[in-house]
Structure 1
Amino acid sequence: MSRYALLVSAFALLPLAANAQELPARTIRIIVPSPPGAAGDITARVIAQKLSERLHQPVVVENQGGASGAIGMSMLRRAAPDGTTIGVVIALAQTIDRIQNKTGSFDIVKDFTPITAIANNPAGLVVNDRIAAASLTAFAEFVRKRPREIAYASGGVGTAHHLYGQVLNRTAGIQMLNVPYKGVTPALNDLLGGHVPAAIVSLAAALPHIESGRLRLLTVFDTKRYAKLPEVPTIAEEMPEFVPGRTWIGLLGPSNVPVAITARLHDEIVRILNSTDVQQVLFERRPRLCRSFPRNRESRTNESA
Protein backbone atom coordinates (compact mmCIF):
# COMPACT_ATOMS: atom_id res chain seq x y z
CA MET A 1 0.00 0.00 0.00
CA SER A 2 1.37 3.45 -0.91
CA ARG A 3 2.07 6.17 1.65
CA TYR A 4 -0.77 8.15 0.08
CA ALA A 5 -3.15 5.23 0.66
CA LEU A 6 -1.94 4.81 4.24
CA LEU A 7 -2.70 8.44 5.03
CA VAL A 8 -6.20 8.29 3.63
CA SER A 9 -6.92 4.92 5.26
CA ALA A 10 -6.10 6.61 8.55
CA PHE A 11 -8.91 9.09 7.88
CA ALA A 12 -11.28 6.17 7.39
CA LEU A 13 -10.35 4.65 10.75
CA LEU A 14 -11.28 7.76 12.73
CA PRO A 15 -14.10 7.14 15.21
CA LEU A 16 -17.36 8.68 14.12
CA ALA A 17 -18.33 9.35 17.71
CA ALA A 18 -16.51 9.60 21.01
CA ASN A 19 -17.02 10.99 24.45
CA ALA A 20 -16.65 14.75 24.32
CA GLN A 21 -13.35 16.10 25.61
CA GLU A 22 -12.76 19.74 26.27
CA LEU A 23 -10.24 21.54 24.12
CA PRO A 24 -7.90 23.92 25.94
CA ALA A 25 -9.60 27.31 26.31
CA ARG A 26 -7.31 29.28 24.03
CA THR A 27 -7.05 30.28 20.39
CA ILE A 28 -7.06 27.44 17.86
CA ARG A 29 -4.68 27.86 14.91
CA ILE A 30 -5.26 26.43 11.46
CA ILE A 31 -1.92 26.39 9.64
CA VAL A 32 -2.19 26.69 5.85
CA PRO A 33 1.08 25.73 4.09
CA SER A 34 0.45 28.12 1.20
CA PRO A 35 -0.13 31.86 0.64
CA PRO A 36 -3.59 33.46 1.01
CA GLY A 37 -6.05 32.85 -1.81
CA ALA A 38 -5.21 29.23 -2.57
CA ALA A 39 -7.83 26.50 -2.28
CA GLY A 40 -6.61 25.31 1.12
CA ASP A 41 -6.65 28.88 2.44
CA ILE A 42 -10.19 29.52 1.17
CA THR A 43 -11.45 26.33 2.76
CA ALA A 44 -9.62 26.94 6.04
CA ARG A 45 -11.11 30.42 6.45
CA VAL A 46 -14.66 29.17 5.98
CA ILE A 47 -14.07 26.40 8.53
CA ALA A 48 -12.33 28.75 10.99
CA GLN A 49 -15.28 31.13 11.17
CA LYS A 50 -17.82 28.37 11.71
CA LEU A 51 -15.62 26.42 14.13
CA SER A 52 -15.16 29.52 16.26
CA GLU A 53 -18.93 29.94 16.44
CA ARG A 54 -19.47 26.31 17.41
CA LEU A 55 -16.69 26.09 20.01
CA HIS A 56 -17.11 29.64 21.39
CA GLN A 57 -13.39 30.32 21.20
CA PRO A 58 -11.14 32.11 18.70
CA VAL A 59 -9.98 30.21 15.60
CA VAL A 60 -7.40 31.88 13.36
CA VAL A 61 -5.79 30.97 10.04
CA GLU A 62 -2.01 31.28 9.74
CA ASN A 63 -0.48 31.15 6.27
CA GLN A 64 2.98 29.58 6.31
CA GLY A 65 3.86 29.12 2.66
CA GLY A 66 7.16 28.21 1.08
CA ALA A 67 9.25 25.16 0.21
CA SER A 68 6.26 23.50 -1.51
CA GLY A 69 4.38 23.38 1.80
CA ALA A 70 7.24 21.97 3.88
CA ILE A 71 7.54 25.05 6.12
CA GLY A 72 3.93 24.98 7.24
CA MET A 73 3.87 21.22 7.62
CA SER A 74 7.02 21.28 9.75
CA MET A 75 5.44 23.91 12.02
CA LEU A 76 2.40 21.71 12.42
CA ARG A 77 4.55 18.70 13.23
CA ARG A 78 6.25 20.59 16.08
CA ALA A 79 3.01 21.93 17.60
CA ALA A 80 1.63 20.73 20.94
CA PRO A 81 -0.70 17.73 20.41
CA ASP A 82 -3.60 19.25 22.34
CA GLY A 83 -5.98 20.07 19.47
CA THR A 84 -5.27 23.81 19.42
CA THR A 85 -3.08 23.61 16.31
CA ILE A 86 -4.34 21.86 13.19
CA GLY A 87 -3.32 22.23 9.58
CA VAL A 88 -4.44 21.90 6.00
CA VAL A 89 -2.93 19.14 3.89
CA ILE A 90 -3.05 19.11 0.10
CA ALA A 91 -2.63 15.36 -0.01
CA LEU A 92 -1.15 14.69 -3.45
CA ALA A 93 1.15 17.71 -3.33
CA GLN A 94 2.59 17.01 0.10
CA THR A 95 2.83 13.26 -0.50
CA ILE A 96 4.80 13.84 -3.71
CA ASP A 97 7.07 16.27 -1.90
CA ARG A 98 7.88 13.74 0.81
CA ILE A 99 8.52 10.97 -1.72
CA GLN A 100 10.94 13.24 -3.56
CA ASN A 101 12.66 14.39 -0.37
CA LYS A 102 13.10 11.21 1.62
CA THR A 103 15.36 12.92 4.13
CA GLY A 104 12.86 15.74 4.71
CA SER A 105 11.86 17.18 8.04
CA PHE A 106 8.59 15.28 8.42
CA ASP A 107 6.81 12.07 7.50
CA ILE A 108 3.32 12.71 6.13
CA VAL A 109 1.97 9.48 7.64
CA LYS A 110 3.86 9.09 10.92
CA ASP A 111 4.13 12.69 12.10
CA PHE A 112 0.48 13.73 11.93
CA THR A 113 -2.96 12.82 13.28
CA PRO A 114 -5.71 12.68 10.60
CA ILE A 115 -8.81 14.73 11.44
CA THR A 116 -10.92 14.65 8.28
CA ALA A 117 -10.81 14.75 4.50
CA ILE A 118 -12.61 17.78 3.12
CA ALA A 119 -12.74 18.13 -0.65
CA ASN A 120 -11.36 17.13 -4.01
CA ASN A 121 -9.28 19.93 -5.47
CA PRO A 122 -8.48 19.23 -9.13
CA ALA A 123 -5.99 21.30 -11.07
CA GLY A 124 -6.34 22.72 -14.55
CA LEU A 125 -4.24 24.11 -17.38
CA VAL A 126 -5.27 27.74 -17.79
CA VAL A 127 -4.03 30.34 -20.26
CA ASN A 128 -4.36 34.08 -20.80
CA ASP A 129 -4.82 36.04 -24.02
CA ARG A 130 -1.18 35.51 -25.03
CA ILE A 131 -2.26 32.01 -26.07
CA ALA A 132 -4.91 31.84 -28.80
CA ALA A 133 -5.50 28.10 -28.43
CA ALA A 134 -9.00 27.13 -27.33
CA SER A 135 -8.27 23.45 -26.68
CA LEU A 136 -5.51 21.26 -25.28
CA THR A 137 -4.81 19.86 -28.75
CA ALA A 138 -4.35 23.32 -30.23
CA PHE A 139 -2.21 24.38 -27.27
CA ALA A 140 0.06 21.35 -27.67
CA GLU A 141 0.48 22.09 -31.39
CA PHE A 142 1.34 25.71 -30.59
CA VAL A 143 3.94 24.75 -27.96
CA ARG A 144 5.40 21.94 -30.09
CA LYS A 145 6.42 24.50 -32.70
CA ARG A 146 8.14 26.61 -30.02
CA PRO A 147 10.28 24.21 -27.96
CA ARG A 148 11.42 25.70 -24.64
CA GLU A 149 9.86 29.06 -25.48
CA ILE A 150 6.53 28.71 -23.67
CA ALA A 151 6.48 28.73 -19.87
CA TYR A 152 3.83 27.63 -17.41
CA ALA A 153 3.52 28.87 -13.84
CA SER A 154 3.15 26.46 -10.94
CA GLY A 155 2.94 26.74 -7.17
CA GLY A 156 6.50 25.53 -6.67
CA VAL A 157 9.11 22.95 -7.57
CA GLY A 158 8.01 19.43 -6.69
CA THR A 159 4.33 20.29 -6.31
CA ALA A 160 1.67 18.23 -8.05
CA HIS A 161 1.07 21.10 -10.48
CA HIS A 162 4.75 21.24 -11.43
CA LEU A 163 4.81 17.50 -12.03
CA TYR A 164 1.58 17.57 -14.06
CA GLY A 165 3.35 19.95 -16.43
CA GLN A 166 6.35 17.67 -16.75
CA VAL A 167 4.17 14.64 -17.44
CA LEU A 168 2.21 16.68 -19.99
CA ASN A 169 5.50 17.57 -21.69
CA ARG A 170 6.40 13.91 -22.02
CA THR A 171 2.93 12.70 -22.97
CA ALA A 172 2.25 15.39 -25.58
CA GLY A 173 5.81 15.56 -26.92
CA ILE A 174 6.22 19.23 -26.04
CA GLN A 175 8.81 21.26 -24.10
CA MET A 176 7.22 23.78 -21.76
CA LEU A 177 9.37 25.47 -19.12
CA ASN A 178 8.24 25.51 -15.49
CA VAL A 179 8.27 28.84 -13.64
CA PRO A 180 7.87 27.99 -9.93
CA TYR A 181 6.19 30.44 -7.55
CA LYS A 182 5.73 30.44 -3.80
CA GLY A 183 2.16 29.23 -4.04
CA VAL A 184 -0.81 29.33 -6.39
CA THR A 185 -1.80 32.95 -5.72
CA PRO A 186 1.42 34.60 -6.97
CA ALA A 187 1.41 32.21 -9.94
CA LEU A 188 -2.11 33.34 -10.84
CA ASN A 189 -1.23 36.99 -10.33
CA ASP A 190 1.59 36.78 -12.87
CA LEU A 191 -0.63 34.87 -15.29
CA LEU A 192 -3.31 37.56 -15.00
CA GLY A 193 -0.64 40.23 -15.41
CA GLY A 194 0.62 38.67 -18.64
CA HIS A 195 4.07 37.80 -17.28
CA VAL A 196 3.56 34.11 -18.11
CA PRO A 197 1.16 32.75 -20.76
CA ALA A 198 -0.03 29.60 -18.98
CA ALA A 199 -0.32 28.03 -15.55
CA ILE A 200 -1.24 24.75 -13.93
CA VAL A 201 -3.08 25.62 -10.73
CA SER A 202 -6.01 24.53 -8.59
CA LEU A 203 -9.37 25.21 -10.20
CA ALA A 204 -10.72 26.46 -6.88
CA ALA A 205 -8.35 29.41 -7.07
CA ALA A 206 -8.63 29.96 -10.84
CA LEU A 207 -12.40 29.63 -11.20
CA PRO A 208 -13.39 33.29 -10.63
CA HIS A 209 -10.93 34.41 -13.31
CA ILE A 210 -12.16 31.74 -15.72
CA GLU A 211 -15.76 32.79 -15.16
CA SER A 212 -14.87 36.45 -15.69
CA GLY A 213 -13.28 35.60 -19.04
CA ARG A 214 -9.77 36.72 -18.09
CA LEU A 215 -8.46 33.15 -18.26
CA ARG A 216 -9.39 30.09 -20.32
CA LEU A 217 -9.39 26.54 -19.04
CA LEU A 218 -8.01 24.03 -21.55
CA THR A 219 -8.12 20.79 -19.55
CA VAL A 220 -8.81 19.40 -16.08
CA PHE A 221 -6.24 17.13 -14.43
CA ASP A 222 -8.75 14.61 -13.13
CA THR A 223 -10.78 11.64 -14.27
CA LYS A 224 -14.08 13.52 -13.85
CA ARG A 225 -15.15 16.77 -15.45
CA TYR A 226 -15.31 19.83 -13.22
CA ALA A 227 -18.90 20.44 -12.17
CA LYS A 228 -18.81 24.21 -12.72
CA LEU A 229 -17.21 23.87 -16.18
CA PRO A 230 -18.59 20.60 -17.53
CA GLU A 231 -17.86 21.52 -21.14
CA VAL A 232 -14.09 21.28 -20.58
CA PRO A 233 -12.67 17.76 -21.17
CA THR A 234 -10.42 16.06 -18.65
CA ILE A 235 -6.82 15.13 -19.39
CA ALA A 236 -7.90 11.49 -19.10
CA GLU A 237 -10.35 11.99 -21.98
CA GLU A 238 -7.90 13.80 -24.22
CA MET A 239 -4.79 11.77 -23.37
CA PRO A 240 -5.80 8.35 -21.99
CA GLU A 241 -2.16 7.51 -21.29
CA PHE A 242 -2.00 10.44 -18.83
CA VAL A 243 -3.24 9.13 -15.46
CA PRO A 244 -3.72 12.08 -13.08
CA GLY A 245 -3.47 11.63 -9.34
CA ARG A 246 -6.41 12.75 -7.23
CA THR A 247 -5.62 15.97 -5.36
CA TRP A 248 -7.67 16.55 -2.23
CA ILE A 249 -7.71 18.76 0.84
CA GLY A 250 -7.82 17.48 4.41
CA LEU A 251 -7.10 18.54 7.98
CA LEU A 252 -4.40 17.07 10.20
CA GLY A 253 -3.09 17.60 13.71
CA PRO A 254 0.39 16.89 15.03
CA SER A 255 1.07 13.30 16.06
CA ASN A 256 -0.39 11.93 19.29
CA VAL A 257 -3.44 14.18 19.56
CA PRO A 258 -5.76 12.35 22.01
CA VAL A 259 -8.41 10.24 20.29
CA ALA A 260 -11.28 12.03 22.03
CA ILE A 261 -10.06 15.48 20.96
CA THR A 262 -9.47 14.24 17.40
CA ALA A 263 -13.01 12.85 17.32
CA ARG A 264 -14.42 16.11 18.71
CA LEU A 265 -12.70 18.18 16.03
CA HIS A 266 -13.67 15.68 13.35
CA ASP A 267 -17.35 15.73 14.32
CA GLU A 268 -17.54 19.52 14.61
CA ILE A 269 -15.84 20.07 11.24
CA VAL A 270 -18.02 17.47 9.51
CA ARG A 271 -21.13 19.22 10.85
CA ILE A 272 -19.78 22.49 9.48
CA LEU A 273 -19.06 20.99 6.06
CA ASN A 274 -22.50 19.40 5.90
CA SER A 275 -24.30 22.68 6.69
CA THR A 276 -26.25 24.21 3.82
CA ASP A 277 -24.51 27.59 3.84
CA VAL A 278 -21.02 26.08 3.79
CA GLN A 279 -22.02 23.62 1.08
CA GLN A 280 -23.15 26.57 -1.03
CA VAL A 281 -20.00 28.62 -0.44
CA LEU A 282 -17.52 25.80 -1.02
CA PHE A 283 -19.33 23.57 -3.47
CA GLU A 284 -20.78 26.24 -5.75
CA ARG A 285 -17.50 28.02 -6.45
CA ARG A 286 -14.73 26.02 -4.82
CA PRO A 287 -13.45 22.45 -4.40
CA ARG A 288 -15.81 19.48 -4.74
CA LEU A 289 -16.79 18.58 -1.19
CA CYS A 290 -16.55 15.01 -0.01
CA ARG A 291 -20.17 13.99 0.42
CA SER A 292 -19.42 11.49 3.18
CA PHE A 293 -16.73 11.73 5.81
CA PRO A 294 -14.29 10.12 5.85
CA ARG A 295 -15.03 6.67 4.49
CA ASN A 296 -15.37 7.50 0.81
CA ARG A 297 -11.69 8.46 0.93
CA GLU A 298 -10.66 4.79 0.76
CA SER A 299 -12.10 4.13 -2.68
CA ARG A 300 -10.78 7.43 -4.01
CA THR A 301 -7.32 6.61 -2.74
CA ASN A 302 -7.32 3.23 -4.43
CA GLU A 303 -8.05 5.04 -7.71
CA SER A 304 -5.17 7.47 -7.18
CA ALA A 305 -2.49 5.37 -5.53
Structure 2
Amino acid sequence: MTFINSTTNLIRRSTKDIFYIFNNHGLYYNYYNKDNKLSKRNILISNNTLDYTQFYFSIDKFDKIYGIVSDNAIKIVECENDSDIFLLKETFSFDYEKFGVCFPYIKYMEGTTHMFYYVYSPQFTNSAIIFHQYRNEKGKWVENQIDMVNFNILDKFYIVFNNNIPTIFYLNLVGEYEEVFYSTFIYENLKWSEPKQLTNTQTNKLYFNILNDIDNNLYHVVFSENTQNQYSIKYMNYNIKDDTFIENLSCFLTEPSLCSFPCIILENSTLYIMWVCFEKLYTSFSNDLGSTWSTPICDETSINEDFLRTHVHSNVNEDLIYKDIDLFTTMTNLSILGF
Protein backbone atom coordinates (compact mmCIF):
# COMPACT_ATOMS: atom_id res chain seq x y z
CA MET A 1 0.00 0.00 0.00
CA THR A 2 1.31 3.52 0.64
CA PHE A 3 2.37 6.20 3.08
CA ILE A 4 -0.20 8.98 3.49
CA ASN A 5 1.43 12.37 4.07
CA SER A 6 -0.89 13.52 6.82
CA THR A 7 -0.85 13.64 10.62
CA THR A 8 -3.61 12.67 13.04
CA ASN A 9 -3.95 13.09 16.81
CA LEU A 10 -4.69 10.22 19.18
CA ILE A 11 -5.60 11.17 22.77
CA ARG A 12 -6.09 8.60 25.54
CA ARG A 13 -7.57 9.55 28.89
CA SER A 14 -6.62 7.88 32.16
CA THR A 15 -10.02 6.16 31.95
CA LYS A 16 -8.74 4.53 28.71
CA ASP A 17 -11.30 6.07 26.38
CA ILE A 18 -9.78 7.42 23.16
CA PHE A 19 -10.27 10.40 20.86
CA TYR A 20 -8.91 10.03 17.33
CA ILE A 21 -8.82 13.41 15.56
CA PHE A 22 -8.26 13.64 11.80
CA ASN A 23 -9.01 15.74 8.73
CA ASN A 24 -11.18 14.47 5.88
CA HIS A 25 -12.76 17.41 4.05
CA GLY A 26 -13.22 18.95 7.48
CA LEU A 27 -11.95 18.18 10.98
CA TYR A 28 -13.50 15.07 12.57
CA TYR A 29 -13.02 12.90 15.61
CA ASN A 30 -13.87 9.34 16.53
CA TYR A 31 -14.62 8.58 20.16
CA TYR A 32 -13.82 5.06 21.45
CA ASN A 33 -15.04 4.00 24.88
CA LYS A 34 -12.79 2.29 27.45
CA ASP A 35 -13.55 -1.07 25.78
CA ASN A 36 -12.06 0.32 22.56
CA LYS A 37 -15.41 0.35 20.76
CA LEU A 38 -16.33 3.23 18.47
CA SER A 39 -19.28 5.01 20.06
CA LYS A 40 -19.29 8.37 18.30
CA ARG A 41 -18.07 10.05 15.13
CA ASN A 42 -18.49 13.79 15.04
CA ILE A 43 -17.35 16.85 13.12
CA LEU A 44 -15.34 19.60 14.82
CA ILE A 45 -14.79 22.08 11.98
CA SER A 46 -16.79 21.97 8.73
CA ASN A 47 -14.09 23.44 6.50
CA ASN A 48 -13.32 21.15 3.57
CA THR A 49 -10.01 22.93 2.82
CA LEU A 50 -8.57 22.29 6.28
CA ASP A 51 -5.55 19.96 6.38
CA TYR A 52 -3.19 18.38 8.91
CA THR A 53 -1.01 21.52 9.11
CA GLN A 54 -3.86 23.44 10.76
CA PHE A 55 -4.65 21.61 14.00
CA TYR A 56 -3.06 20.19 17.13
CA PHE A 57 -4.62 18.54 20.21
CA SER A 58 -3.39 17.59 23.66
CA ILE A 59 -4.63 16.62 27.14
CA ASP A 60 -4.02 18.06 30.60
CA LYS A 61 -3.36 16.07 33.79
CA PHE A 62 -7.07 16.22 34.68
CA ASP A 63 -8.11 14.51 31.40
CA LYS A 64 -9.44 17.65 29.77
CA ILE A 65 -8.72 17.48 26.03
CA TYR A 66 -7.98 20.73 24.26
CA GLY A 67 -6.87 21.80 20.84
CA ILE A 68 -5.97 24.64 18.53
CA VAL A 69 -7.29 24.99 14.97
CA SER A 70 -6.31 27.61 12.39
CA ASP A 71 -8.53 28.19 9.38
CA ASN A 72 -10.04 31.68 8.96
CA ALA A 73 -9.25 32.35 12.63
CA ILE A 74 -7.26 30.73 15.43
CA LYS A 75 -9.67 28.71 17.57
CA ILE A 76 -9.22 27.00 20.93
CA VAL A 77 -11.59 24.11 21.61
CA GLU A 78 -12.01 21.99 24.74
CA CYS A 79 -13.64 18.73 25.81
CA GLU A 80 -14.14 18.36 29.57
CA ASN A 81 -12.97 15.18 31.32
CA ASP A 82 -16.51 13.83 31.69
CA SER A 83 -17.65 14.64 28.15
CA ASP A 84 -17.17 13.51 24.56
CA ILE A 85 -18.24 16.86 23.04
CA PHE A 86 -15.88 19.68 22.07
CA LEU A 87 -16.86 23.30 22.69
CA LEU A 88 -15.35 26.45 21.22
CA LYS A 89 -13.65 28.37 24.04
CA GLU A 90 -11.77 31.22 22.39
CA THR A 91 -11.18 32.77 18.97
CA PHE A 92 -8.33 34.96 17.74
CA SER A 93 -8.99 36.73 14.46
CA PHE A 94 -6.40 37.60 11.81
CA ASP A 95 -6.50 38.85 8.23
CA TYR A 96 -6.83 35.44 6.59
CA GLU A 97 -6.98 37.00 3.12
CA LYS A 98 -3.41 38.31 3.55
CA PHE A 99 -1.87 35.76 5.92
CA GLY A 100 -1.89 32.05 6.65
CA VAL A 101 -1.24 30.24 9.93
CA CYS A 102 0.18 26.73 9.97
CA PHE A 103 1.43 24.10 12.41
CA PRO A 104 -0.24 25.59 15.49
CA TYR A 105 0.71 24.18 18.91
CA ILE A 106 -0.91 24.70 22.31
CA LYS A 107 0.03 23.74 25.86
CA TYR A 108 -1.99 24.20 29.07
CA MET A 109 0.25 24.28 32.11
CA GLU A 110 -0.38 25.25 35.74
CA GLY A 111 -3.11 27.74 34.88
CA THR A 112 -1.20 29.26 31.95
CA THR A 113 -1.38 28.78 28.18
CA HIS A 114 1.34 28.71 25.54
CA MET A 115 0.47 28.95 21.82
CA PHE A 116 2.93 28.73 18.93
CA TYR A 117 2.42 28.88 15.16
CA TYR A 118 3.96 29.92 11.85
CA VAL A 119 2.54 33.01 10.11
CA TYR A 120 3.21 33.42 6.40
CA SER A 121 1.98 35.28 3.34
CA PRO A 122 0.48 33.09 0.59
CA GLN A 123 2.27 35.38 -1.89
CA PHE A 124 5.69 34.66 -0.32
CA THR A 125 5.68 31.04 0.81
CA ASN A 126 9.45 30.84 1.20
CA SER A 127 9.44 32.75 4.51
CA ALA A 128 7.45 32.77 7.74
CA ILE A 129 7.54 34.14 11.29
CA ILE A 130 7.32 31.94 14.38
CA PHE A 131 4.83 33.52 16.81
CA HIS A 132 4.33 32.75 20.49
CA GLN A 133 1.40 33.82 22.65
CA TYR A 134 1.50 33.34 26.42
CA ARG A 135 -1.37 33.79 28.87
CA ASN A 136 -0.38 34.07 32.53
CA GLU A 137 -2.36 32.97 35.60
CA LYS A 138 -4.25 36.29 35.61
CA GLY A 139 -5.42 35.86 32.02
CA LYS A 140 -3.12 38.48 30.47
CA TRP A 141 -1.80 37.66 27.00
CA VAL A 142 1.73 38.49 25.80
CA GLU A 143 2.82 38.02 22.17
CA ASN A 144 6.33 37.54 20.80
CA GLN A 145 7.95 36.97 17.43
CA ILE A 146 10.59 34.30 18.04
CA ASP A 147 12.32 34.28 14.66
CA MET A 148 11.85 34.60 10.92
CA VAL A 149 12.56 31.49 8.86
CA ASN A 150 13.48 31.75 5.20
CA PHE A 151 12.45 28.57 3.41
CA ASN A 152 9.29 26.70 2.48
CA ILE A 153 7.68 25.32 5.65
CA LEU A 154 7.23 21.57 5.18
CA ASP A 155 6.95 20.41 8.78
CA LYS A 156 6.48 21.61 12.33
CA PHE A 157 8.81 22.93 15.01
CA TYR A 158 9.24 21.09 18.34
CA ILE A 159 8.61 22.42 21.84
CA VAL A 160 10.40 20.91 24.85
CA PHE A 161 9.44 21.91 28.41
CA ASN A 162 12.02 21.73 31.21
CA ASN A 163 10.72 22.82 34.63
CA ASN A 164 7.78 24.43 32.81
CA ILE A 165 10.16 26.50 30.65
CA PRO A 166 9.62 26.04 26.90
CA THR A 167 12.44 25.74 24.38
CA ILE A 168 11.58 25.71 20.69
CA PHE A 169 13.60 23.80 18.07
CA TYR A 170 13.14 24.58 14.39
CA LEU A 171 14.87 24.65 11.02
CA ASN A 172 16.23 27.83 9.50
CA LEU A 173 18.66 28.70 6.74
CA VAL A 174 22.35 29.40 7.20
CA GLY A 175 23.47 30.49 3.77
CA GLU A 176 21.78 27.94 1.51
CA TYR A 177 21.51 25.10 4.05
CA GLU A 178 18.90 24.31 6.68
CA GLU A 179 20.21 23.94 10.24
CA VAL A 180 18.45 23.28 13.55
CA PHE A 181 18.08 26.33 15.81
CA TYR A 182 16.69 26.75 19.32
CA SER A 183 15.45 29.51 21.61
CA THR A 184 14.18 29.51 25.22
CA PHE A 185 11.41 31.56 26.84
CA ILE A 186 12.52 33.84 29.69
CA TYR A 187 9.70 34.33 32.21
CA GLU A 188 11.46 37.23 33.96
CA ASN A 189 11.03 39.55 30.98
CA LEU A 190 8.52 37.50 28.95
CA LYS A 191 10.90 37.46 26.00
CA TRP A 192 12.71 34.77 24.02
CA SER A 193 16.45 34.25 24.08
CA GLU A 194 18.47 35.07 21.00
CA PRO A 195 18.15 32.03 18.67
CA LYS A 196 21.21 29.80 18.65
CA GLN A 197 22.35 27.36 15.99
CA LEU A 198 22.41 23.72 17.13
CA THR A 199 23.59 21.81 14.05
CA ASN A 200 26.33 22.82 11.64
CA THR A 201 26.51 20.07 9.01
CA GLN A 202 26.25 22.50 6.07
CA THR A 203 23.86 20.30 4.12
CA ASN A 204 20.16 20.53 3.32
CA LYS A 205 17.77 19.01 5.84
CA LEU A 206 14.12 17.99 5.97
CA TYR A 207 11.67 16.61 8.52
CA PHE A 208 13.60 16.59 11.77
CA ASN A 209 12.54 15.15 15.14
CA ILE A 210 13.92 15.67 18.64
CA LEU A 211 13.71 13.77 21.94
CA ASN A 212 14.65 15.10 25.37
CA ASP A 213 16.23 12.22 27.35
CA ILE A 214 16.11 13.67 30.86
CA ASP A 215 17.55 10.63 32.65
CA ASN A 216 20.73 10.71 30.55
CA ASN A 217 20.95 14.50 30.13
CA LEU A 218 20.79 14.04 26.37
CA TYR A 219 18.93 15.50 23.43
CA HIS A 220 18.52 13.04 20.55
CA VAL A 221 18.08 14.67 17.13
CA VAL A 222 17.27 12.94 13.84
CA PHE A 223 16.61 14.38 10.39
CA SER A 224 16.63 13.65 6.67
CA GLU A 225 19.87 15.05 5.27
CA ASN A 226 20.85 15.57 1.66
CA THR A 227 23.68 13.27 0.59
CA GLN A 228 24.62 12.74 -3.06
CA ASN A 229 21.40 14.50 -4.15
CA GLN A 230 19.31 12.03 -2.17
CA TYR A 231 18.25 11.92 1.48
CA SER A 232 19.70 9.82 4.29
CA ILE A 233 18.67 9.53 7.94
CA LYS A 234 21.19 11.21 10.21
CA TYR A 235 21.28 10.92 14.01
CA MET A 236 23.02 13.27 16.46
CA ASN A 237 22.96 13.67 20.21
CA TYR A 238 23.93 16.44 22.58
CA ASN A 239 24.73 16.89 26.26
CA ILE A 240 23.78 20.07 28.08
CA LYS A 241 26.40 21.80 30.22
CA ASP A 242 25.90 25.29 31.66
CA ASP A 243 22.86 25.77 29.40
CA THR A 244 24.99 25.00 26.34
CA PHE A 245 24.43 22.14 23.90
CA ILE A 246 27.59 20.09 23.35
CA GLU A 247 27.64 17.67 20.41
CA ASN A 248 28.37 14.10 21.48
CA LEU A 249 28.17 12.09 18.29
CA SER A 250 26.63 11.92 14.84
CA CYS A 251 26.14 9.10 12.35
CA PHE A 252 24.10 8.05 9.33
CA LEU A 253 21.60 5.22 9.72
CA THR A 254 21.03 4.71 5.99
CA GLU A 255 22.68 4.96 2.62
CA PRO A 256 21.56 7.81 0.33
CA SER A 257 18.00 7.14 -0.80
CA LEU A 258 14.58 8.78 -0.42
CA CYS A 259 14.36 8.73 3.38
CA SER A 260 11.93 11.13 5.06
CA PHE A 261 9.68 11.76 8.08
CA PRO A 262 11.95 10.36 10.82
CA CYS A 263 10.70 10.01 14.38
CA ILE A 264 12.50 8.85 17.51
CA ILE A 265 11.22 6.95 20.56
CA LEU A 266 12.90 5.84 23.79
CA GLU A 267 11.57 2.70 25.47
CA ASN A 268 13.32 0.84 28.31
CA SER A 269 16.72 2.36 27.45
CA THR A 270 16.35 1.41 23.77
CA LEU A 271 16.20 4.13 21.13
CA TYR A 272 14.07 3.50 18.05
CA ILE A 273 14.22 5.62 14.92
CA MET A 274 11.56 5.13 12.25
CA TRP A 275 11.33 6.70 8.82
CA VAL A 276 9.61 6.37 5.44
CA CYS A 277 11.47 5.23 2.33
CA PHE A 278 9.77 4.35 -0.97
CA GLU A 279 6.35 4.27 0.72
CA LYS A 280 7.48 1.75 3.36
CA LEU A 281 8.33 2.14 7.04
CA TYR A 282 11.79 1.26 8.33
CA THR A 283 13.15 1.01 11.88
CA SER A 284 16.61 0.93 13.41
CA PHE A 285 17.34 0.66 17.15
CA SER A 286 20.20 1.39 19.53
CA ASN A 287 20.90 -0.07 22.98
CA ASP A 288 23.84 2.20 23.77
CA LEU A 289 22.35 5.71 23.59
CA GLY A 290 22.96 6.09 19.88
CA SER A 291 26.58 4.93 19.62
CA THR A 292 25.68 1.96 17.40
CA TRP A 293 22.54 1.15 15.42
CA SER A 294 20.96 -2.02 14.11
CA THR A 295 20.49 -2.77 10.42
CA PRO A 296 17.22 -1.12 9.31
CA ILE A 297 14.21 -3.46 9.12
CA CYS A 298 11.11 -2.90 7.00
CA ASP A 299 7.78 -3.12 8.82
CA GLU A 300 5.79 -5.75 6.91
CA THR A 301 2.46 -4.13 7.74
CA SER A 302 3.51 -0.93 5.97
CA ILE A 303 3.84 -2.95 2.75
CA ASN A 304 0.23 -4.14 2.88
CA GLU A 305 -1.65 -1.27 4.53
CA ASP A 306 -1.88 2.50 4.22
CA PHE A 307 -0.17 4.25 7.12
CA LEU A 308 0.50 7.79 8.34
CA ARG A 309 2.03 9.82 11.15
CA THR A 310 0.13 10.14 14.42
CA HIS A 311 0.82 12.35 17.41
CA VAL A 312 -0.05 10.48 20.60
CA HIS A 313 -0.86 11.81 24.07
CA SER A 314 -1.84 9.42 26.85
CA ASN A 315 -2.70 9.80 30.53
CA VAL A 316 -2.73 6.02 31.10
CA ASN A 317 0.08 5.04 33.48
CA GLU A 318 1.00 1.93 31.48
CA ASP A 319 1.44 4.09 28.36
CA LEU A 320 4.64 5.63 29.69
CA ILE A 321 6.35 6.06 26.31
CA TYR A 322 3.17 7.41 24.70
CA LYS A 323 2.86 10.51 26.88
CA ASP A 324 3.72 12.88 24.05
CA ILE A 325 5.31 11.40 20.93
CA ASP A 326 5.11 11.12 17.16
CA LEU A 327 4.86 7.65 15.63
CA PHE A 328 3.26 5.77 12.74
CA THR A 329 -0.11 4.01 12.68
CA THR A 330 -2.25 2.19 10.15
CA MET A 331 -5.26 4.03 8.79
CA THR A 332 -7.73 1.21 9.29
CA ASN A 333 -7.39 0.06 12.91
CA LEU A 334 -4.88 2.52 14.44
CA SER A 335 -2.25 -0.18 14.96
CA ILE A 336 1.15 1.22 15.97
CA LEU A 337 3.94 0.36 13.54
CA GLY A 338 7.70 0.24 13.62
CA PHE A 339 8.62 -1.30 16.96
Same fold (TM over 0.5): no
TM-score (norm 1): 0.29
- Larger RCO (CA under 8 A, 6+ residues apart): 1
